[in-house]
Structure 1
């Protein structure tokens, strides 16, 4: 069974994910305060092997990185046609380039850039691409998010919480109280920390915490 990383409803970009209820992505609320050594108290992380290549035994297109990239390009082309002609290419890994998408959204003031299109204009292409996402390594995703959380705290965002492992899923860290935010993504400290720590996150985890 494919294990999923579960996003927090924090950034506007997550509307793109949350708009697809057919996927096994669920919203996590709340957070866990880091212990004195900065490591959350969780159970042993399950070790999973990341799928390489594709598996066409079930019929249909193989679920490899190439198929994923091609499907993402169709989503991008839809966004260029219906929302903004400058919507950026995906990364070579197939994941959307959120650094460029965020910059485009800020430059244009158009929230639809980060939400998959006005009224779900490109939802079919989005669902197709996400259905072809290669299986992820839960252990590596957890370690990546943990390193990112520690980096954020080290750069002044002291309340940034660690990710957690729960029922084989990674629950991202971030604001300890999303319903009444204690961490402001708009603050200069947060923006500087986010810039300094962005390379801690693996492709596909951008904006998850």
Structure 2
């Protein structure tokens, strides 16, 4: 979106992520294949970046301090995520919604286990009826500013890996206004990929390491 006023880059990123999360009621690992053979109608775009970027959680500055985010359990981001988690348990309809990781990012492996239960997927992002969308927005606004180029490269490497592992319609991320936006399902408004299919799950497992911390719920 283009505005004539300056906006806080963290808030802008949060809005982009909120749109990605709440627009499509599917698991946020998010866009997946519709069957064992997903080769028909495959979409291949720019695959020039295939290496896995170094995870911020693993990188260390010269002074020995982690560059991967806030201190575990003490940051504004972690606290905001915990408010979201508590809302999901109390008002969102998911009493077993898992705690965030120590980095403050949500643990989508565990979240998707909850969402995979019968009739549990509809509100897995934002709560049933959108009960916790405000808490989710606040948590994303509190996230430390990310390197958008590294996020883009990470998601691009992941998209290529997904296609190489059988989910050929998995689309590339894009850059818009300096912000990385996730790829995945070619038609998010009417998803054609199935996150619960064996082929998709196998590809996700093979490509798990391609995504930086905090991106695993984006595409």
Match 1:191 to one of 183, 201, 218: 201
TM-score by length of structure 2 reads: 0.65
Q: Alignment partner of 1:145: what SS?
A: helix
Distance in 2 of aligned mates of 1:159 and 1:79: 32
- Where structure 2 has 5 or more consecutive residues not aligned to the other structure, the ranges are 1-7, 29-42, 50-66
Q: 1:97-150: CA deviations, max 9, x gaps? A: 111111012125323551322333333433332221111110110111011012
Q: Alignment partner of 2:75: what SS?
A: helix
Match 2:107 to one of 94, 97, 102: 97
Match of 2:186 in 1: 176
Q: 1:27-106 residue pairs with structure 2 within 5 A?
A: 33-35=44-46, 38-39=47-48, 66-82=75-91, 83-106=93-116
Q: Does 1:204 align with 2:214?
A: yes
Change over 3 Å in CA distance of 1:101–1:178 after alignment to 2: closer
Match 1:118 to one of 109, 113, 128: 128
Change over 3 Å in CA distance of 1:182–1:116 after alignment to 2: closer
- Where structure 1 has 5 or more consecutive residues not aligned to the other structure, the ranges are 15-31, 41-49, 54-63
Distance in 1 of aligned mates of 2:89 and 2:187: 36
